[in-house]
């Protein structure tokens, strides 16, 4: 499958912890775009983009299917911005849901519903810089 941004072939990454979960990662190095996919049908679980700003690595992740809140109401889109704390050698393409990595990510901001913005490899740096100024 090709990258949704640059249309070039993505790299398929299989890690043991993702195999256990029944999932794998597609990664585009040029775009720093990461997709978490189910192994069974290759459906996309989440889309992530990475950007390095002032020597800090940020990850923007959007779930591809509706997420249900505490009241059982589905969100159309949930987008979350994380600061990747790089102390353990985490790199883009290593995925997201493994506990060790999650513990080393600092949550910065979450958007819900229709206000979730569309980020691309072209606009991600500008968007994150703007959000960081507003925090
Ligand atoms: Zn790409």
| pLDDT < 50 regions, the chain | 99
Closest CA to 25 of 78, 16, 133, 109: 16
Q: What is the pTM of this model?
A: 0.83
- Interval between CA 71 and ligand 1 midpoint (Å): 37
Q: Tokens 């507003």 — which residue?
A: 134
- Interval between CA 69 and ligand 1 midpoint (Å): 31
Distance CA 130, CA 76 (A): 24
Distance CA 59, CA 52 (A): 9
Q: 33: burial class by Cβ within 10 Å (0-12, 13-18, 19+)?
A: buried
- Interval between CA 70 and ligand 1 midpoint (Å): 35
- Interval between CA 2 and ligand 1 midpoint (Å): 8
- Interval between CA 5 and ligand 1 midpoint (Å): 5
């Amino acid at each position: 499958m090709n990258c949704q941004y640059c249309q070039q072939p993505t790299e398929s990454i299989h890690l043991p912890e993702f195999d256990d979960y029944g999932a794998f990662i597609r990664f585009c190095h040029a775009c720093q775009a990461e997709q978490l996919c189910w192994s069974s049908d290759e459906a996309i679980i989440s889309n992530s983009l990475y950007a390095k700003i002032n020597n800090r690595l940020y990850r923007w992740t959007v779930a591809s299917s509706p997420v249900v809140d505490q009241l059982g109401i589905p969100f159309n889109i949930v987008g979350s911005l994380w600061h990747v704390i790089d102390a353990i050698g985490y790199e883009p393409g290593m995925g997201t849901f493994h506990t060790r990595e999650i513990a080393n990510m600092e949550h910065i901001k979450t958007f819900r519903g229709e206000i979730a913005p569309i980020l691309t490899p072209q606009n991600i740096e500008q968007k994150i810089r703007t959000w960081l100024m507003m925090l």
